[in-house]
Structure 1
Amino acid sequence: MAVDSYDFWLFDLDGTLVDAEWSYTRDVFDRVGDRLGRPFSDREAEVLWHGLGGARDDQLREWNIPPTEFWPVFHAEEDPQLRAEATYLHDDAAELIRSLHARDRPVGLVTHCQAFLTGPVLEHLDIRDWFDTVVCCTEELGWKPDPAPVRHAIRELGVEGEGTGVLAGDGANDVGAAWNAGLDSIHVERHDPAFRGQCVLGDYRITTFRDLGQ
């Protein structure tokens, strides 16, 4: 494909454009495990952090962890400033977005990362102005693969019913949200598929955004 194939672009955040240092992730899950009385292995922490098993709530239930107990504890143990300082930007993602800006393409963000974390991350990396809209999923708005957050972002971009769009993300929920909203999808696989334990099918499957034609 060529970047010029689409009139507007939407992106997931964590695992797609940015990632957190493993030491931060491990520390959060250690503290969450202490509070829940249930330790998390390295694999379990990675599966939940990156959503490698699909819907995180389904994964939690499979492990007999009630989502209503897990998420309040998890968010309470996240420190926005420490999270921001531990987060780094993928070079290939930066290159693509700069290329989109040069082409004057609208660019939006649709993320499961909560607003109290997303804001500090974008500010710390100095990339908030890269996005014409930032949509953080909530219980009220919906969670990917629900198309509602994606459609909200499209309205915010002012491109509803105009041109063709694509959503790029690192998980099955991103692909599902794109398709449910009538967009094409790009799956960027930043993990070994064998470790993920499943193959994610998107309209385009890449391991780096440099795989896309410019």
Structure 2
Amino acid sequence: MELSAAVFDLDGTLIDSEPRNQVMWTWLFERHGAAHDPALIASFAGRRGREVLAELIHLFPGRTVEELFAEAVAYEHGPEAPPVGVVPGAVELVRALHEAGLPLGVATSGQRSYAEGLLDGLGVRDCFGAVVTADDVATGKPDPEGFLAACRGLGVPPERAVGFEDAPAGVAAIKAAGMTCVGVTTTVPAGALAAADHVVANLKEVDVLPGPALRVPGSGPSTSG
């Protein structure tokens, strides 16, 4: 089946930023003496920070979600924040799909200013017809609201679209939306993305075929979207 649209997550899917994000959340817990372990920090991946903090607010007596979220975001600009890079093949895939005439969208748990800044930095903002951020939805991933909104913005039924994600919460959101899912193992091992239809190490493994259609390892000539 030929694709009608593609929707990308941002952190960990187009930008290799999850290692930095995990460091930022770790700093937040350490500064407040809040109990944490790697699994707890990993639970932030793919989700809206405010929603995860609301679930864990009992670990931060006397603090509000908004205070904690603002503090964590401020760490992003600190001199000790780890650098971020581009997921291999991300820019090339986005541009190839755009040049093939495929409507493209973004569904991210990041705030709009953050998302727009990253897309501008990648030089691909003009490739996306719909950018849905944490500011645009009532419920974040694993709820499918963001991916469904992106498909609506592109004018394409979700069952005709493919979504790209690096986190279990995002994969669950894509599948709940009724979309085909390609998982990218930039953040978690392949086993954690088992619910995805296809799993790749990075976006260099995804080829654009005439149609347009996608070819990923082990999937045959194209994915169904």
Normalised by the length of structure 1, the TM-score is: 0.74
Q: Which has the higher helix share?
A: 1
Structure 1 residue 157, shift from structure 2 partner: 1.2
Distance (Å, rounded) in 2 between the aligned partners of 1:190 and 1:70: 28
Structure 1 residues 130 and 89, CA, compared in 2 at 3 Å: closer, same or farther? farther
* Identical-pair percentage: 25
2:77 aligns to what?
82
1:129 aligns to what?
126
Distance (Å, rounded) in 2 between the aligned partners of 1:142 and 1:122: 23
Helix, strand or coil at the partner of 1:186? strand
Do 2:163 and 2:180's aligned partners in 1 also have CA atoms closer than 8 Å?
yes
Residue-by-residue CA offset, 1:81-125 (whole Å, 9 max, x unaligned): 838994322231112111101211011000011223223322333
105-114 vs 174-183, which moves further? 174-183
Do 1:32 and 1:73's aligned partners in 2 also have CA atoms closer than 8 Å?
no
Structure 1 residue 22, shift from structure 2 partner: 4.5
Given candidates 189, 196, 200, the residue that maps to 2:194 is 200
Distance (Å, rounded) in 1 between the aligned partners of 2:95 and 2:66: 34
1:18 aligns to what?
15
133-142 vs 97-106, which moves further? 133-142
Distance (Å, rounded) in 1 between the aligned partners of 2:20 and 2:166: 21
Do 2:15 and 2:86's aligned partners in 1 also have CA atoms closer than 8 Å?
yes
Structure 1 residue 78, shift from structure 2 partner: 1.3
Kindly tell me the number of residue pairs found equivalent between the two proteins.
201
Structure 1 residues 112 and 156, CA, compared in 2 at 3 Å: closer, same or farther? same
Do 1:19 and 1:87's aligned partners in 2 also have CA atoms closer than 8 Å?
yes
Asked if 1:170 corresponds to 2:166, the answer is: yes
Residue-by-residue CA offset, 1:5-25 (whole Å, 9 max, x unaligned): 311000111011102385675
Counting only pairs closer than 5 Å after superposition, residues 14-163 of structure 1 correspond to structure 2 as: 14-20=11-17, 22=19, 26=23, 29-34=26-31, 36-38=32-34, 43=38, 47-51=42-46, 57=52, 61=56, 65=59, 69=64, 72-79=67-74, 82=77, 86-138=83-135, 140-160=137-157
Distance (Å, rounded) in 2 between the aligned partners of 1:183 and 1:23: 29
Helix, strand or coil at the partner of 2:77? helix
Q: What stretches of structure 2 of length at least 5 have no aligned partner?
A: 209-225
Q: What stretches of structure 1 of length at least 5 have no aligned partner?
A: none
Structure 1 residues 207 and 81, CA, compared in 2 at 3 Å: closer, same or farther? closer
Structure 1 residue 39, shift from structure 2 partner: 6.4
Helix, strand or coil at the partner of 1:119? helix
Do 1:29 and 1:45's aligned partners in 2 also have CA atoms closer than 8 Å?
no
Normalised by the length of structure 2, the TM-score is: 0.71
Structure 1 residues 150 and 191, CA, compared in 2 at 3 Å: closer, same or farther? closer
CA RMSD of aligned residues (A): 3.7
